[in-house]
Amino acid sequence: DQQVKQNSPSLSVQEGRISILNCDYTNSMFDYFLWYKKYPAEGPTFLISISSIKDKNEDGRFTVFLNKSAKHLSLHIVPSQPGDSAVYFCAASETSGTYKYIFGTGTRLKVLA
Amino acid sequence: DAMVIQNPRYQVTQFGKPVTLSCSQTLNHNVMYWYQQKSSQAPKLLFHYYDKDFNNEADTPDNFQSRRPNTSFCFLDIRSPGLGDAAMYLCATSRVGGLGSPLHFGNGTRLTVT
């Protein structure tokens, strides 16, 4: 049972344009959501997070939006740069529960120069 | 810099030969995790420690064991590796509390079983 889903395995975007990566979850107890970026042969690197008490969090070129009623979150990257090309994972956890973080399968983003 | 360090980066073992992967952290986080990631799949949680309390996932095979002798170190033991255990093994840490804390990952150990 996949509690966190990333339905787009890959995405290509032109440099300078917006990249939108999507993530859906099924467990209504999740209250903390994260995005990670992973390059080949490296561990995932934390990008940005959002608590369920917010619907938007912004950090530089990265913005995460949370729609609790739809159980959906998205990561926006504006403007996209070739160095953003990587696999992006979303993850979710229950902060008052078991401290487990559940990951999606990832979306491979390719930013074309 | 505070960080999570995994050794070795690459490990080759023979079918059925026990292998141990190690992880250390300088972040002083109270929770440590082991994830298994196979190609094009989500990182899968094997188990985690909250301080010394061990939490095993229900579907983690008995072949996988873990030890956390102190706050800084955590080990993953694979007692009898099979070909299906070839994967990237990721260690991560987090600090419990507040409205949430991100996981901090090491660079992983890629395990090959021959």
Q: Could you tell me where the beta strands, DSSP code E, fall in chain A? A: 4-5, 10-14, 19-25, 32-38, 45-51, 56-59, 62-67, 72-77, 86-93, 101-103, 107-112
Query: How much is the CA Rg of chain A, to the nearest whole Å?
Result: 13
Residue A12 confidence (pLDDT): 97
User: Measured between alpha carbons, how far is A67 from A41 in angstroms, rounded to an integer?
Assistant: 33
Mean pLDDT by groups of 10 residues along chain B of 114 residues:
89 96 95 93 92 90 95 96 96 80 93 96
pLDDT tens digits for chain A (113 residues)? 789 999 999 999 999 999 999 999 999 999 999 999 999 888 999 999 999 999 999 999 999 999 999 999 999 999 999 999 999 999 999 877 667 889 999 999 999 99
| pLDDT for the residue A98 | 65
Per CB-CB distance under 8 Å, the chain B contacts of A89 are 42-43
B106 touches chain A (CB under 8 A): yes
In which element (H, E) is residue B32 found?
strand B31-37
Residue A43, chain B, CB below 8 Å: the answer is yes
Q: How is residue A45 annotated by DSSP?
A: E
Residue of A9, A44, A93 lying closest to B100 (CB–CB) = A93
**B80 CB near a chain A CB, below 8 Å?**
no
CA distance A14 to chain B (A): 24
The verdict on A15 touching B (C-beta cutoff 8 Å) is no
Of B44, B96, B107, the CB nearest to A43: B107
Residue A87 CA from chain centroid, whole number = 10
Q: What one-character DSSP code corresponds to residue A79?
A: S
